[in-house]
Amino acid sequence: MPTPGSSATPGSQSSLREANQRRVIQAVREAGAPTQADIARSTGLSRATVSNIVRELAARGVLVTTPTSAGGRRARAVSLAPSAGLAVGVDFGHSHLRVAIGNLAREVVAEEAMPLDVGASAADGLGAAEHLMDGLLAGVGATRADVLGVGLGVPGPIDAASGTLGSSTILPGWAGIEAAEEARRRFGRPVHVDNDANLGALAEVTWGAARGHTDAAYIKIASGVGAGIVIGGRVYHGPGGTAGEIGHITLNADGAMCRCGNRGCLETYAGGRYLADLLRPTHGDGLTTARIVELALAGDAPCRRAVGDAGRYAGAGVASLCNLLNPRLVVVGGDLARAGDLLIEPMAEAVRRSAVASAAALVSIVPGVLGDRAEVLGALALVMNVWEAV
């Protein structure tokens, strides 16, 4: 297959061949191990064309064929070769680092997480990611040379033009850093960067609760609040790369100061750091979002109220999203989503109260199914999607 960045003249024989290769690979990925006849039916390509493409891609080590039978006749099943190359996903969170290794068959073959101080610099964070990545690669008998690309997830807006993280990132040591370029220098492999909410959306569409949906939103409620928006099956970034910053919708112009520099943002009412401040008089210092959820589920009245209120405020933001984009599905992820109905029921009620009736009736609000792995899986999917598109 061509490498990312290669190009062919639109309408040329080479561009047509590459497009047909992508169709075949996508058909194999979706079906698992179809026969060549199955591929021909699903893609609309002739059997001869499919046979030639499969033969060429098998010779390159992208596909493998195995004898099978179909309708009592001998046939050959086609599948993606796990050895075709590896993708690396790296997720930097408020207090953690998670790295995963996957192959082009969308199988996760290794994964590891570790605590990461929120005050760590970009250099320290990338150094820790290098260490985890090299260890995981060694564990599966691979090296960096086997890596097709690295997907990098960070909790903050990324400027589309410069590739730098905005000043409102949750990781202060990363503000203004050209994340992709820094990572590329260290890893020596192609690097693709996106924010954590977009990657959560990509993961839930690829593997999780939004699979099969072409229009959906992923709301991440953790230390901060963000959204990933899927339109026509693709994550929508906007021309500047900041689409989905739902956490910075103003709810109260005279409210608390937000890290973005404005007052009364949704995040200051629903973000985990602000809930900890709210609960300090009753629970003291050091209350994490995970502990707030744990206490709420155990029946602690102040924590239950804090989570419910956060759901209502988040629901007001989702109502605005529904009025603007009219999604059929909203998936809720992040640490606070572990509270389940304590969070989601107030969200849904706020949407029913504040959204246009037709939009509120159409949308379903559901918990994500990928948990704290959503962002690192989205980082893997980011790399895989780049290779599907070439």
**Residue 67 · residue 78 · CB < 8 Å:** no
CATH 3.30.420.40 fits domain 85-201+374-388: yes
Distance CA 348, CA 225 (A): 17
pLDDT tens digits for range 170-194: 677 777 788 888 889 999 999 999 9
Note the Cα 270 to chain centre separation in Å.
Answer: 21
Starting at the edge strand that comes first in sequence, how are the strands of the sheet with 234-236 ordered? 234-236, 225-231, 216-221, 329-333, 364-367
H or E element at residue 330: strand 329-333
Average pLDDT along the chain: 88
How much is the pLDDT for 373? Answer: 94
What integer is the mean pLDDT of 341-347? 98
Distance CA 116, CA 93 (A): 8
Per-domain residue ranges of the chain: 13-83, 85-201+374-388, 209-369
pLDDT > 70 fraction of the chain, expressed in percent and rounded: 92
pLDDT tens digits for range 44-71: 999 999 999 999 888 877 788 888 887 7
**Residue 181 · residue 369 · CB < 8 Å:** no
Topology of domain 13-83, CATH: Arc Repressor Mutant, subunit A (1.10.10)
Place of tokens 């024989």: 13
pLDDT tens digits for range 213-243: 989 999 999 988 999 999 988 899 988 888 9
Burial class (CB in 10 A: 0-12, 13-18, 19+), 79: middle
Phi, psi of 161 (to 5 degrees): -80, -45
CATH 2.40.50.500 fits domain 209-369: no
Give yes or no on whether 13-83 and 85-201+374-388 have one common fold: no
pLDDT tens digits for range 260-285: 889 999 999 999 989 999 999 999 99
Q: How many helices (H) and strands (E) does the chain have?
A: 13, 12
Give yes or no for residue 303 having a pLDDT over 60: yes
Give yes or no for residue 166 having a pLDDT over 60: yes
| Nearest alpha carbon to residue 377 among 267, 232, 218 | 218
| Nearest alpha carbon to residue 382 among 151, 209, 164, 153 | 151
pLDDT tens digits for range 240-257: 888 999 999 999 999 999
**Residue 328 · residue 322 · CB < 8 Å:** no
Rg (CA), the chain: 22
Give yes or no for residue 161 having a pLDDT over 70: no
Distance CA 358, CA 22 (A): 38
Distance CA 154, CA 131 (A): 18
How much is the pLDDT for 10? Answer: 47
What integer is the mean pLDDT of 79-98? 85
**Least trusted range by pLDDT, from 87-91, 232-236, 282-286, 300-304:** 232-236
Q: How confident is the model at residue 389 (pLDDT cuts 50, 70, 90)?
A: low
Please, which residues bridge with residue 192 across strands?
Answer: 151
Q: What is the three-class DSSP state of 250?
A: strand
**Least trusted range by pLDDT, from 78-87, 90-99, 210-219, 297-306:** 78-87
